[in-house]
Amino acid sequence: MSTHNDDFPTDNPAVVTCGLPYANGDLHIGHLRGYIGADAFNRALQTLGQETAYVCGSDMHGTPVAVNAEQQGVDPADFALDWHEQYEETFPKFNVDFDNYGHTHDETNTELTQEIVRKLDDEGYIYEKEIQVAYDPDADQYLPDRYVEGTCPYCGEKARGDECDEGCQRHLEPGEVEDPTSTITGNPAEYRERTHKFFEVSEFADFLTEFLDGLEGTSNARNQPRQWIEDGLQDWCITRDMDWGIDYPGEDGDGDDLVLYVWVDAPIEYIASTKQYSERVGTDEYDWEQVWKGDGEIMHVIGRDIIQHHTIFWPAMLEGAGYNKPRGIAATGFITINGKGLSTSRNRAIWAKEYLDEGFHPDLLRYYLTTTGGLQQDVDFSWDAFQEKVNGELVGTVGNFWYRSLLFAYRNYEGTPDTDVSAEVEERIEGAIGDVRENVNDYSMRGVGQAATQLAQFGNEYIQRNEPWKLTDEEPEEAAQVIRDCVQIAKAVGVLLEPIAPDKAQDLWEQLGEDGAIADAHLEDALEAPPRNFDEPGELFGKIEDDRVDELTEKLEERVAAASDDGEESDDGDAETESDDTAASESENMAETDDLEPLLEDRIGFEDFQELDIRVGRIESAEGIEGADDLAKLEVDIGFETRQVVAGIKQLHDLDELPGTKCVLLANMEPAELFGVESNGMILAAGEEADLLTTHGDASLGEKIK
Ligand SMILES: [Zn+2]
């Protein structure tokens, strides 16, 4: 990726932010992934010598908060503040080390928001317009954003009032959602005419195109907005008919209850929080104005569902109000649990509190979440995979190497042998430092973690190859050299791993007898000699046992089952359809492999493959299943017999055209029942459009795919 920016570290101060959590519910692994990823990125920048601050805050406003507070019959301010305080306590427990954590309802943000909106108004970027606003006649109330649901006018999926959360991820303007229904009463909503304020985003198309060309981060954060700009930018309605929020400047007092849309004041909290940090440490130490109004490096880590807010609306607002623009935006993929979408309503989630209560160290989760997939990729969590990663990489590779090399050094030399590091090992460490540098500049925390683990892997091989335990008596100098090298590698692994596993790295630091905090170390310190003497080391990682994993997996399954017993079962049919990454399908840019599901790293044996009984078939008939939006019932001839199969292709194919089509069927799929129809096999298809797999020669029906 070519950009116009200098590599990190630069001479300018940087700020790293992470999307604000809505102050309306418990934190779970889906949240943590972003905050941990951004925290690791910020720490990694510091190890490069970059001056940075990591700031964030709770999002107190908006309808997600108002709706939930209303349901519980409490004041939204109290409701949001309660959650805010919980978040403030929870993040540090995962070593998410914000330099400042504010909230959008505090004075700094309120003042700054009104100042920026006034400035946009003065510059002529805000105008008034009459629009249709959803209204619930029974509740006698306007229905902004999440007070209304309906159908997305762009893709036809079910959508919230302000975003197409299940479909194309677009931001939706008031009045856009079709077939509006009130979420207060469940009744159909009316549209009524109201005067609202609009921000002229359309004026910024050229600016935004250029901005995106220079933007670093993940490719999805560039590609999606390019498409939106091409489709034509719409101006944004920036006011809402609500009490809860920041008043439109100068508008209060006319009884009209116009507050600013939450997406105006939420990102401004990035600036407000930086300002608070700056005011606390002094502008000599860190100057928020240099960052936000001068030449600072601004990096946002966000969820991919809020790309539009951060790549269109936000930079336009910054430009219009005379602020600096972001250098990088990294949009993270989602978390799935045991291969299925994380769902808080179904209790299919790993909660932050739960993880800690189970007694696991936060660094284990940090390592899992940052190294299992790239930032942009979806990451699946299962207790099995967690165990495998921890036992394999942290216990087996890193912990094992740390312990054996330090213990050997302690027993034979009471610390670091008194000699210099060999050229081979020095070079290897320099190589790892170079890898980290490159990966930080590529926004790849996974790459940073891998560089550290691979260095430990090298250390294990080095010790194995040189067998110092055989040398101590006969070749004492050679033995001392090998152990000296290993102690240096151990220290280097600690320095490299610190952004991802800060506590464990600090423990190692102390075992080596180093002073101060490893968090203050720079990458080059990985090559500095450790202290001559240190005490007997202890093991820093413990294995996760199988029965522990079984117990946790069972617990999770039981509570998901309990939650779905309470809820409607009718939506189970589409529970596994995912892959909502619109960039890949809309642009049909097959070269953008970053937008594809990641390749699985685990290889399977040929025997595993042979367990799949895949056959050539022919579709004999196809009809829709009543009551199921996506499902069709197919009769498929596979030579020996005709199978009835249910497939999620109703909306993607013309069912009348399908009979006679050759297809590929997984014949030994466990039978299932969907909407009362038995499915006895699975049709194979590719991608979101369910492109049916077939054969191109004359393979006859029933032939096995091998
Ligand atoms: Zn949509």
Listing DSSP states for 636-661 in one string gives EE-SS-EEEEEES-TTTS-GGG-TT-
Alpha helical stretches, state H, 339-395: 352-357, 362-371, 383-389
Closest CA to 338 of 523, 95, 576, 668: 576
Mean pLDDT in residue range 341-352: 91
Measured in angstroms, how far is the CA atom of residue 334 from the centroid of ligand 1?
Answer: 18
Question: Residue 28, Cα to own-chain centre: how many angstroms?
Answer: 12
Percent of the chain with pLDDT over 90: 75
Helix-strand-coil split of the chain, %, nearest 5: 45, 20, 35
Measured in angstroms, how far is the CA atom of residue 378 from the centroid of ligand 1?
Answer: 20
The per-residue pLDDT of the chain, averaged, comes to 91
Measured in angstroms, how far is the CA atom of residue 158 from the centroid of ligand 1?
Answer: 8
Residue 629 has what pLDDT? 75
Please give the biggest Cα pair distance in the chain: 92
Half-sphere exposure of 539 (CA within 13 A, CB side): 10
Measured in angstroms, how far is the CA atom of residue 167 from the centroid of ligand 1?
Answer: 4
Measured in angstroms, how far is the CA atom of residue 165 from the centroid of ligand 1?
Answer: 7
Measured in angstroms, how far is the CA atom of residue 342 from the centroid of ligand 1?
Answer: 20
Measured in angstroms, how far is the CA atom of residue 519 from the centroid of ligand 1?
Answer: 44
Measured in angstroms, how far is the CA atom of residue 579 from the centroid of ligand 1?
Answer: 14
Fill in the amino acid letter for 357.
D
d(CA 292, CA 526): 33
Residue 167 confidence (pLDDT) above 90: no
Residue 151 has what pLDDT? 95
Measured in angstroms, how far is the CA atom of residue 687 from the centroid of ligand 1?
Answer: 18
Measured in angstroms, how far is the CA atom of residue 653 from the centroid of ligand 1?
Answer: 20
Residue 231 has what pLDDT? 87
Measured in angstroms, how far is the CA atom of residue 232 from the centroid of ligand 1?
Answer: 16
Residue 589 has what pLDDT? 31
Tokens describing residue 205: 């198309």
Measured in angstroms, how far is the CA atom of residue 152 from the centroid of ligand 1?
Answer: 5
The total of other beta-carbon atoms located within 10 Å of residue 83's CB is 23
d(CA 244, CA 147): 13
d(CA 244, CA 678): 50
Measured in angstroms, how far is the CA atom of residue 233 from the centroid of ligand 1?
Answer: 16
Measured in angstroms, how far is the CA atom of residue 214 from the centroid of ligand 1?
Answer: 27
Measured in angstroms, how far is the CA atom of residue 156 from the centroid of ligand 1?
Answer: 6
Measured in angstroms, how far is the CA atom of residue 354 from the centroid of ligand 1?
Answer: 34
Half-sphere exposure of 379 (CA within 13 A, CB side): 27
Residue 630 has what pLDDT? 81
Measured in angstroms, how far is the CA atom of residue 160 from the centroid of ligand 1?
Answer: 10
Mean pLDDT in residue range 586-612: 63
Measured in angstroms, how far is the CA atom of residue 65 from the centroid of ligand 1?
Answer: 23
Measured in angstroms, how far is the CA atom of residue 170 from the centroid of ligand 1?
Answer: 6
Residue 622 has what pLDDT? 92
Measured in angstroms, how far is the CA atom of residue 676 from the centroid of ligand 1?
Answer: 29
252 Cβ neighbours under 8 A, 6+ residues apart: none
* 8-state DSSP, 393: I
Residue 310 confidence (pLDDT) above 70: yes
Phi and psi of 439, rounded to 5°?
-70, -35
Contact 220, 304 (CB under 8 A): yes
Measured in angstroms, how far is the CA atom of residue 363 from the centroid of ligand 1?
Answer: 37
Measured in angstroms, how far is the CA atom of residue 400 from the centroid of ligand 1?
Answer: 50
d(CA 76, CA 68): 8
Residue 326 confidence (pLDDT) above 90: yes
Measured in angstroms, how far is the CA atom of residue 225 from the centroid of ligand 1?
Answer: 14
Measured in angstroms, how far is the CA atom of residue 227 from the centroid of ligand 1?
Answer: 14
Residue 153 has what pLDDT? 94
Measured in angstroms, how far is the CA atom of residue 151 from the centroid of ligand 1?
Answer: 8
Measured in angstroms, how far is the CA atom of residue 168 from the centroid of ligand 1?
Answer: 4
Measured in angstroms, how far is the CA atom of residue 110 from the centroid of ligand 1?
Answer: 32
Measured in angstroms, how far is the CA atom of residue 255 from the centroid of ligand 1?
Answer: 34
Higher pLDDT among residues 461 and 686, named by residue: 461
Measured in angstroms, how far is the CA atom of residue 357 from the centroid of ligand 1?
Answer: 39
d(CA 368, CA 364): 6
Closest CA to 529 of 478, 584, 561, 487: 487
Measured in angstroms, how far is the CA atom of residue 164 from the centroid of ligand 1?
Answer: 5
Residue 71 has what pLDDT? 86
Each residue's pLDDT tens digit, 621-660: 999 888 777 889 999 999 889 999 999 888 778 888 888 8
Each residue's pLDDT tens digit, 211-269: 999 999 999 899 889 988 998 999 999 999 998 999 999 865 555 678 999 999 999 99
* 8-state DSSP, 255: S
Residue 595 has what pLDDT? 53
Q: Which residues surround ligand 1, an ion (CB under 5 A)?
A: 152, 154-155, 164, 167-168
Please give the model's pTM, rounded to 2 decimal places: 0.80
Each residue's pLDDT tens digit, 104-135: 999 999 999 999 999 999 999 999 999 999 99
Measured in angstroms, how far is the CA atom of residue 171 from the centroid of ligand 1?
Answer: 9
pLDDT-based confidence at 436, cuts 50/70/90? very high
Measured in angstroms, how far is the CA atom of residue 224 from the centroid of ligand 1?
Answer: 13
Quick one: CA torsion of 343, 349, 354, 360, rounded to 10 degrees? -160
Tokens describing residue 216: 């670093």
pLDDT-based confidence at 573, cuts 50/70/90? very low
Measured in angstroms, how far is the CA atom of residue 256 from the centroid of ligand 1?
Answer: 31
Measured in angstroms, how far is the CA atom of residue 320 from the centroid of ligand 1?
Answer: 28
Measured in angstroms, how far is the CA atom of residue 585 from the centroid of ligand 1?
Answer: 13
DSSP β-bridge partners for residue 500? none
Quick one: CA torsion of 120, 125, 131, 136, rounded to 10 degrees? -20
Measured in angstroms, how far is the CA atom of residue 172 from the centroid of ligand 1?
Answer: 8
Measured in angstroms, how far is the CA atom of residue 682 from the centroid of ligand 1?
Answer: 28
Q: Please identify which residue in the block is written with the tokens 């930079």.
A: 315
Q: With left for phi above 0 and alpha for psi between -120 and 50, is residue 443 left, alpha or beta? A: left
Measured in angstroms, how far is the CA atom of residue 175 from the centroid of ligand 1?
Answer: 14
Measured in angstroms, how far is the CA atom of residue 242 from the centroid of ligand 1?
Answer: 25
Measured in angstroms, how far is the CA atom of residue 470 from the centroid of ligand 1?
Answer: 67
Mean pLDDT in residue range 307-331: 97
Measured in angstroms, how far is the CA atom of residue 683 from the centroid of ligand 1?
Answer: 27
Residue 293 confidence (pLDDT) above 80: yes
Long-range contacts of 148-154 (CB under 8 A, 24+ apart): 148/177, 148/180, 148/181, 148/182, 148/183, 148/189, 149/177, 149/180, 149/181, 149/183, 150/177, 150/178, 150/179, 150/180, 150/181, 151/177, 151/178, 151/179, 152/177, 152/178, 153/177, 153/178
d(CA 137, CA 148): 13
